[in-house]
């Protein structure tokens, strides 16, 4: 029950932060220990998760409405799971570090996603998401395996990406971190969008980003 409460509270927090409006977006949390087969079979990945329901505004949701997805892909709950449940499942299967996944149609991330552009190293905090850029996954229809595959590819060595003509996806070790990362990501998207209104921003060099990425190896981690 605690995870159901946390998932519902996270979805409400996404709305309060301006990441989602109405029935847009979804969130999930892993229920099983992170186990990833050597060769990932997305159709049979051993993932158990809770995910927000499909097409239900967050203000109408209760904890009992969160859908549980079994390892075989069967859903349990009073409502159908989010149409993006395959995307969440495949992220968990591909990335053992993912304990929670958030998908949002936030204004600035979506605006950039509609341009189908990667976000370059205009700011050093790009490194917060695992590399020197944030990729935009190729376009695919929502709720399809093609979108899931494109998202997993764009998240390689990253914990966030844009979805072309769609929105954003982030994952974190838990719901709290995933929410914080989603808010940070949307803030970076807003900053990049605003910078483009002035002109092309001056980008950090490969060497400069390499130094930042090295420092991010211990950023936010407890001291040994």
Nearest in space to 96 (alpha carbons), one of 17, 176, 32, 181: 32
2 is catalytic: no
Catalytic, out of 59, 84, 157, 214 = 84
Contact 212, 124 (CB under 8 A): yes
CA 64 to CA 8: how far, in whole Å?
Answer: 10
Indicate if the alpha-carbon torsion angle 187, 193, 195, 201 is positive or negative. Answer: positive
- Two tokens, residue 46: 């051993």
CA 181 to CA 177: how far, in whole Å?
Answer: 6
Q: Which residues are catalytic?
A: 84
């Amino acid at each position: 029950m605690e995870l159901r409460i946390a998932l519902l509270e996270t979805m409400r927090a996404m709305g309060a932060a301006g990441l989602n409006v109405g029935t847009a977006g979804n969130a999930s949390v892993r229920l099983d220990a992170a186990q990833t087969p050597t060769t990932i079979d997305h159709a049979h990945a051993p993932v158990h998760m809770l995910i927000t329901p499909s097409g239900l505004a967050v203000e109408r949701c209760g904890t009992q409405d969160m859908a549980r997805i079994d390892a075989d892909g069967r859903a349990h709950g009073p409502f159908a799971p989010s149409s993006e449940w395959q995307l969440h499942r495949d992220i968990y299967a591909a990335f053992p570090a993912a304990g929670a996944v958030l998908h949002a149609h936030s204004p600035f991330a979506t605006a950039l996603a509609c341009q189908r552009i990667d976000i370059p190293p205009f700011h050093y905090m790009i490194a917060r998401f695992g590399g020197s850029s944030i990729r935009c996954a190729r376009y695919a229809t929502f709720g399809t395996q093609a979108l899931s595959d494109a998202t997993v590819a764009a998240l390689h060595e990253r914990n966030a990406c844009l979805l072309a003509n769609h929105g954003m996806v982030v994952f974190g070790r838990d719901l709290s971190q995933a929410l914080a990362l989603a808010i940070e990501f949307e803030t970076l998207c807003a900053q990049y969008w605003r910078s483009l209104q002035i002109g092309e921003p001056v980008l950090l060099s490969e060497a400069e980003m390499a130094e930042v990425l090295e420092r991010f190896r211990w950023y936010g981690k407890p001291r040994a």
